[in-house]
Amino acid sequence: MKPLALIRWVAVLTVSLAACHAPTGPSSLAIVNPSADDVRARRAMWVAHAPPAYSYVLTESGGFSAFAGRPFQLVVRNDTVEGVTFFDTHQLVPGPYTFWPTIDGLFDEAVSAAGGGQLTAISFDPLLSYPTRMNFIPRPDVTSSIEATDLSSATPR
């Protein structure tokens, strides 16, 4: 075998083996035009694994909200939002926090939207099964998508 051909063969074999053994994490599950039952099934999985205290990053897009497109860090304890900060500046958002959604609140919104034919797609975290992205039928005065990312357990007080 010629040296150049041998080098090419070794390079192809190396790349092929590296691709076969490249670590990949689990990918999220996406459902297009989900039913309310699809969402409820994933919610049952979330309930089985949900931490009593957690934080996550929430971003909403669309609508007339001044917060559209801006990420927020929410801290949740015992299914109650206890604090909200701007994700980029870490500045505290003044309360009350009653209209900010917990993960259970996101599930409530998803079930309602799916039942009304307004939820066009939803993605779930592959490990904890919480909704990571929800897309709605676009309307100018309503949120068109919601993202919930970077969920981590928080230490209960």
| Total of domains in the chain | 1
Residue 59 covered by a domain: yes
Average pLDDT, the chain: 83
Q: What pLDDT is recorded for position 28? A: 75
Residue 9 covered by a domain: no
Q: What is the 3-state secondary structure (H, E, C) of 16-75?
A: HHHHHHCCCCCCCEEEECCCHHHHHHHHHHHHHHCCCEEEEEEEEEECCCCCCCCCEEEE
Residue 109 covered by a domain: yes
Residue 48 covered by a domain: yes
Q: What pLDDT is recorded for position 68? A: 81
Residue 60 covered by a domain: yes
Read off the pLDDT of each residue in 123-137 and give the average, rounded to a whole number. 96
Rounded-to-integer distance, Cα 120 and Cα 49, Å: 26
Residue 8 covered by a domain: no
Domain, as residue range, for 77: 27-152
pTM exceeds 0.85 for this model: no
Given a cut of 60, whether residue 1 has pLDDT beyond it is no
Residue 19 covered by a domain: no
Residue 101 covered by a domain: yes
